[in-house]
Amino acid sequence: MPKRWRMQPQDAAVVAGLERAAGVSPIVARLLAARGLVDATAARTFLAGTLQDLRDPEMLPGVPAAAERILAAARDGTRIVIYGDYDADGMCATAILYGCLEALGARPEWYVPDRFEEGYGLNAEALRGLAAKGAGLVITVDCGIASATEATVARDLGLDLIITDHHGFGAALPEATVLVHPRLPGAGYPFGDLCGAAVAFKLAWAIATRASGAKQVTPRLREMLLRAVGLATLGTVADVHHGLANAVMIDTALAFNVASVPERFDTMAAVVGCAPGADGFLNWLAELKATVGIPADLTALGVDAALGDRLVEVAVADACHANNPRPVGRSDFADLFGRAFR
């Protein structure tokens, strides 16, 4: 059954003014007004922002200290484990930090708890298992900010624990080595609606600039960050999808064409079991969209037709990494893609 969208009424004069000043259609002007973007300059920035419009990652609470500790651990060979989450946002955040550390020459590991057996967030038994295997630094993504008890367990085990998250706080903040969170009490960060993957992206960005010794990062780290933008975008669309910073990441992901590296399609095709090459993978992707009830033409949902394909290409490329022991299949991407665009 087709969905009927009902829009809240907006001031007609404000909408007409936005339409003229920002050069947008009446429907877009109404949507901008509903978001509180009634200034033409702010509206144009929101619609056509660039990476230069993103805030410096060093502004995000906890990022400077976390980046320093992670870079030091990568350089001295500390065993680093990224502790993720099983939803789209958490998996993208895990892939972002994994890719960042690997680009630095480290050999990171990742741990994602079982949805049914372990549930959401840090758990003490998993931390004990990681410590027993020699982990020295555990970095959470998309979880952990409400895990005060588990943070104490990590401390008692001798683990350094860096928590990166965007969820609500518990009764007390965890006593971790570093807390990275856009709404950390007393920090005053101006945008609290980053998703977990976007928080991980900001941290990866800060690590990359430190490793490069300059704001302009090395070509290898630049490529890593461009991939990370796509993953942060997928996490954003699946989890929070509003605000200027999020709009910029979505727009930038459109400009990053995974098809420019043809061999990635062969890797993706081998993992999902379809015909090789770009045509084989894109045909599989079209079939997948039909399987999970998503129109082949995503413009029917108000989404650029290229957005869905490119975001999934980026996510699959990272998920298919040769060092990732977790098997990847149709059900993984059916769930991921369905969450993002339904």
Q: What is the pLDDT of residues 218-245, one digit of tens each?
A: 999 998 988 888 788 778 776 654 444 4
For 259, the token pair is 């098809």
How far apart are alpha carbons 133 and 152 in whole angstroms? 19
Judge contact between 265 and 278, C-beta under 8 A: yes
Residue-level pLDDT at 269: 64
Question: Given this model, what pLDDT does residue 154 score?
Answer: 97
Mean pLDDT for 182-206 is: 91
What pLDDT does 301 receive? 39
Confidence of residue 2 (pLDDT cuts 50, 70, 90): low
| Range of weakest confidence among 41-50, 149-158, 250-259 | 250-259
Q: What is the pLDDT of residues 95-134, one digit of tens each?
A: 999 999 999 999 999 998 877 787 778 999 999 999 999 9
pLDDT at 267 over 80: no
pLDDT for the residue numbered 257:
37
What's the average model confidence in pLDDT over 287-296? Answer: 53
Name the band, by pLDDT with cuts 50, 70 and 90, for residue 263. low
Do the strands 137-141 and 80-83 form a parallel or antiparallel pair, or are they unpaired?
parallel
178-180: strand order across its sheet = 109-111, 80-83, 137-141, 160-164, 178-180
Mean pLDDT, residues 12-37:
85
Q: Catalogue the E-assigned strands of the chain.
A: 80-83, 109-111, 137-141, 160-164, 178-180
Token pair 């708890």 in the structure block, residue: 113
Least Cα distance to 207 among 183, 234, 225 occurs for: 225
Residue 315 has pLDDT above 60, yes or no: no
Neighbouring residues of 127: CB distance < 8 A, sequence distance ≥ 6: 138, 150, 153, 154, 157, 159
The reported pLDDT for the residue numbered 272 is: 59
Q: Which of 28-32, 182-186, 265-269 has the lowest mean pLDDT?
A: 265-269
pLDDT of residue 138: 98
Q: Is the pLDDT of residue 76 over 80?
A: yes
Residue 57 has pLDDT above 80, yes or no: yes
Structure tokens at 72: 């030091």
Distance CA 143, CA 146 (A): 8
Q: What is the pLDDT of residue 156?
A: 96
Choose from 247-261, 272-286, 304-318 the range with maximum mean pLDDT.
272-286
Give pLDDT tens digits for 204-214. 999 999 999 99
With contact defined as beta carbons under 8 Å apart, do 79 and 57 qualify?
no
**pTM higher than 0.85:** no
DSSP for 252-276 reads: HHHH--GGGSHHHHHHHHHHHT--S
In percent, how much of the chain has pLDDT > 70? Answer: 69
CA-to-CA distance for 239 and 88, rounded, in angstroms?
A: 8
